[in-house]
Amino acid sequence: MGKVLRDIWILTQSGITVFSRVIDPRINPQIFGALMSALNTYAEKLTDGGISNFEVKKIRFVIIRRKRFLFVANASSKVKTQKILNELS
C-alpha cells in the first residue's frame, strides 16, 4: 500500500502550529495554522462540530479535533475522505 497522506499539521485551537510535515512548503506554517483555526471556529458557529474536510483544486484537506488540538492532513482529491481519516487517526 502506498503513502496516502501528503502533508500533516498539528495545531492548537488558537491556531499555533506545533508540528508540521510539509512536502512542498508554499506558505508559512503559522499562517496556515491561523487560517485553519479561523475556518474551524467560523464553521463551529454555523454548525455543530466545525469543519471536517474541504477541497482546493486537486487536494483534499481533512481536519480532526482531539481535545485542544486540530490535526490537519491533505492528500490527493482522488483519495476518499474516510481513507485519509483512517491514516490520520
Mean pLDDT value of segment 19-37: 91
CA 70, CA 64: separation in Å to the nearest integer?
A: 6
Question: Residue 3 has what pLDDT?
Answer: 83
Does the reported pTM lie above 0.75?
Answer: yes
Q: pLDDT, tens digit, for every residue of 4-27?
A: 999 999 999 889 999 999 998 888
Q: pLDDT, tens digit, for every residue of 41-79?
A: 899 899 887 889 999 999 999 999 999 999 999 999 999
Q: Which domains does the chain have, with CATH numbers?
A: 7-88 (3.30.450.70)
Q: In the sheet where 69-76 sits, what is the strand order?
A: 17-21, 7-12, 69-76, 59-66, 53-56
